[in-house]
Amino acid sequence: MIYITRKELFCAAHKVARKDWTDEKNKEVFGKCSNPNWHGHNYTMWVTVKGEINPETGFVANLSEISDIIKREILDKVDHKNLDMDVDFMTGKISSTETLAVECWKQLEGPINALGCFLHSVKLQETEKNFVEYFG
């Protein structure tokens, strides 16, 4: 088994807030992340896939196929978008980094495993001080 990781970037707006709470309650719980008019980030995402090396190619999987899946399932939907208004797979969810990582995993797991390898982890960084990792 060997692990291969692809790093991708996207830029998005969001706020961390519950629609069923007042702005005051959201501010109390989520602080400046609940700013009603949104804020945003340059997100960095690392998608790690594991599998055995194909002796004919020396590859676990074709990275350009993995990259295409990440582009189609995630980047085309979130890059230069509002996570809370524009993204189908985040509808009705709080756009915390934790939840976003879990939902990205769900988007990627099927298509990546169909390549004959296994999705191992999604790591998502919101600012240079914070990141989350999800292993399914």
Is 14 in the active site? no
Instruction: Give the binding-site size for its own copies (rule: CB under 8 A).
Output: 59
Q: What are the tokens at 76?
A: 């085309």
Rule CB under 8 A: choose which of 23, 28, 29, 71 binds its own copies: 29
Q: 12 and 83 in contact (C-beta within 8 Å)?
A: yes
Does position 59 interact with its own copies (CB under 8 A)? The reply is yes
C-alpha to C-alpha distances, 35 to 13, 16, 18, 79, 122, nearest whole angstrom: 11, 8, 12, 20, 27
CB atoms inside a 10 Å sphere around CB 127: 11
Picking from 45, 42, 44, 26, the residue whose alpha carbon sits closest to that of residue 34 is 26
28 is catalytic: no
| 119, 47 contact by CB (below 8 A) | yes
Residue 1 binds its own copies (CB under 8 A): yes
- Active-site residue, from 8, 33, 41, 65: 33
The nearest distance, CB 119 to its own copies, in angstroms, is 15
Tell me if 65 contacts its own copies by CB under 8 A: no
Give residues in contact with its own copies (CB under 8 A): 1-9, 11-14, 16, 18, 29-33, 35, 37-42, 53, 56-60, 63-64, 79-82, 85-86, 93-99, 101-102, 127-135
Residues labelled catalytic: 33, 80, 126
